[in-house]
Amino acid sequence: MATSDNKTADTDEKIFIGKGEETAWLALALANRHGLVTGATGTGKTVSLQVMAEGFARAGVPVFAADIKGDLSGISEVGEAKDFILKRAGEMGLKFQPDQFSTVFWDVFGEQGHPVRATVTEMGPLLLSRMLDLNDVQEGVLNVAFRVADENGLTLIDMKDLRSLLDAIAPNGSKKGPDAEEDPLAEIRKAAQGFGNVSKATVGTIQRQLLVLENQGGTKFFGEPALALKDFMKTDSDGRGMVNILVADKLMQSPRLYATFLLWMLSELFEELPEAGDLPKPKLVFFFDEAHLLFNDAPKALLDKIEQVVRLIRSKGVGVYFVTQNPIDVPDKVLAQLGNRVQHALRAFTPRDQKAVNAAAQTFRPNPKLDTARVIMELGKGEALVSFLEGGGTPTMVERVMIRPPTARIGPITPEERKAIMNNSPVKGKYDTAVDAESAYEMLQKRVAGTAAPADGADGGAGAGGGVLGQIGSIVGTIFGTNVKRGRLSTGQVIARDVTRSVTNKVVGGIVADLGKSVGGSLGSSVGRALVRGALGGLLRR
């Protein structure tokens, strides 16, 4: 553990976290090697998270944190010089200086923060299957649905798009024969069956699972305008990192939606950000509270993907910090990637609890001066065992320290204070109003009604907004097949297919990012996702 040299303030190279016999510093250059904050309920995890978030923000590093109980919202308001705070600051040689940090609130339900949305296409079949708790057969049918959507230019934005697509690929139970009416979706059903048996019963099961998700608020999550993750990666006018807080108290009532949403964000960052190597400080730091929900009942394939993304996203300049009650909540493969550790007290009332304490102690580099397992059970509120990376990336010996007091307010803010912050938010108005663009639902409705737009653009380019936007939509639609006659690939589609087959994920990802920025909205998003589904969503192959 690095000594303090009588300095107990954050610097451009490190963050002061706490003090015991030695001073605990978190090196910014090694902060993208990820971390773990653990401890029983009421032992001070949220305060430690706030101290770390404040340190990163001061250093100009944007922060994203899920706020389960609402306590973290106080970081947006000026701290109060209470007696216990002044006492702890004095014991550490600190002069308490109240502070506050520029904060943006986000909320999947759009009630206590700006709405957070993603399109169905962005989510991809793998994460969506986990969100719906599908079995292997049902997941296979969902993959077929996404493939059919890609090949027919059907943009999947919201829940009604996915429902209409599932209806379209389900076998048609109507009578056959010379007197039967022509099925306008016959080619789509035939294409789906070409990938394997798609039964009406399986499609029905998926539809019922969609209803469960809708009842949990999933309808609000899927839609546009979709979240642009670059809005998380901003600094304020003073050069401090913005603190992005996901209001998750209501979201936690739908734990599968919460966990899948966080995994989606991780996947999107992994896909969108360029390689950066080792930087003096991270580009962004994520704090995932109740981290065990990310891994509960997750299939091995998904766990492998999570481990891969956590391992590789470090080189994109992103640090990921999991917050949970016990290290054993995190799979060993992921735990091995978490170099910066803060362990608050654990209680051992049962043999199982004792086993958990011993497992937590074994995750630290031993200190001959400490019986780590015993100290974990003796820690008081605000105390922690810490071990951060230093030098060449090796962990320091575990030390017992008192966590420094936060400089912003400890505890939740009032509804009036939240409203004032949102009214002055840098993204005010960007996400607050939902947009229902033409997508798979409308396209399939037109096919059923026999009014699908002709491929030669006879509508004069009035679609997709008319004027210049209509012309852009027509051009891109011709390239990627959204306005080409059914059953035939355009020249552009053939080129796109061959590019997808031959170009590496990295290069295609760059193309997609640039294209999405240039075109924007559902058009840019759907075109991009048709080429690259995402690190956890699966790569399109045709």
Q: Where is average pLDDT lowest: 152-161, 189-198, 259-268?
A: 259-268
How confident is the model at residue 15, as a pLDDT? 96
How confident is the model at residue 159, as a pLDDT? 94
Q: Is 68 helix (H, G, I), strand (E, B) or coil?
A: coil
Number of Cβ atoms within 10 Å of the Cβ of 446:
14
How confident is the model at residue 517, as a pLDDT? 39
Q: Is 272 helix (H, G, I), strand (E, B) or coil?
A: helix
Its pTM stands at: 0.80
Q: pLDDT tens for residues 447-504? A: 888 855 544 443 444 443 444 444 444 444 444 444 443 333 444 444 444 443 333 3
Is a pLDDT exceeding 60 seen at residue 521? no
> What is the band of 534 on the pLDDT scale with cuts at 50, 70, 90?
low
Number of Cβ atoms within 10 Å of the Cβ of 21:
12
Look up residue 514 and give its two tokens: 């640039």
> What is the band of 93 on the pLDDT scale with cuts at 50, 70, 90?
confident
Share of the chain above pLDDT 90, in %: 55
> What is the band of 295 on the pLDDT scale with cuts at 50, 70, 90?
confident
Is a pLDDT exceeding 80 seen at residue 428? yes
Number of Cβ atoms within 10 Å of the Cβ of 211:
12
Over range 306-335, report the average pLDDT: 90
How confident is the model at residue 35, as a pLDDT? 95
DSSP assignment letter at 92: T
Q: pLDDT tens for residues 239-260? A: 999 999 999 988 888 888 888 8
Mean pLDDT for the chain overall: 82
Q: Is 185 helix (H, G, I), strand (E, B) or coil?
A: coil
Over range 313-330, report the average pLDDT: 92
> What is the band of 25 on the pLDDT scale with cuts at 50, 70, 90?
very high
Distance (Å, whole) CA 447 – CA 483: 12
Strand partners, 39: none
Number of Cβ atoms within 10 Å of the Cβ of 416:
8
Strand partners, 403: 18
DSSP assignment letter at 245: E
Look up residue 165 and give its two tokens: 């697509």
Q: pLDDT tens for residues 122-167? A: 999 988 998 888 999 999 999 999 999 999 999 999 999 999 999 9
Look up residue 51 and give its two tokens: 């101290």
Q: Where is average pLDDT lowest: 120-124, 349-353, 535-539?
A: 535-539
How confident is the model at residue 307, as a pLDDT? 87
How confident is the model at residue 512, as a pLDDT? 40
How confident is the model at residue 493, as a pLDDT? 42
How confident is the model at residue 259, as a pLDDT? 83
CB 418 within 8 A of CB 87: no
How confident is the model at residue 252, as a pLDDT? 86
Over range 5-29, report the average pLDDT: 83
Rounded to 5 degrees, φ, ψ at 163 are -65, -45
How confident is the model at residue 180, as a pLDDT? 55
Over range 202-213, report the average pLDDT: 94
How far is residue 379 from each of residues 52, 154, 189, 342, 348, measured CA to CA in Å?
20, 57, 62, 12, 12
- Cis omega before residue 368 (within 30°)? no
How confident is the model at residue 353, as a pLDDT? 84
Over range 223-247, report the average pLDDT: 94
Helices (H) and strands (E) in the chain, counts: 20, 14
How confident is the model at residue 148, as a pLDDT? 95
List alpha helices for 338-410, DSSP H. 351-361, 372-378
Is a pLDDT exceeding 90 seen at residue 234? yes
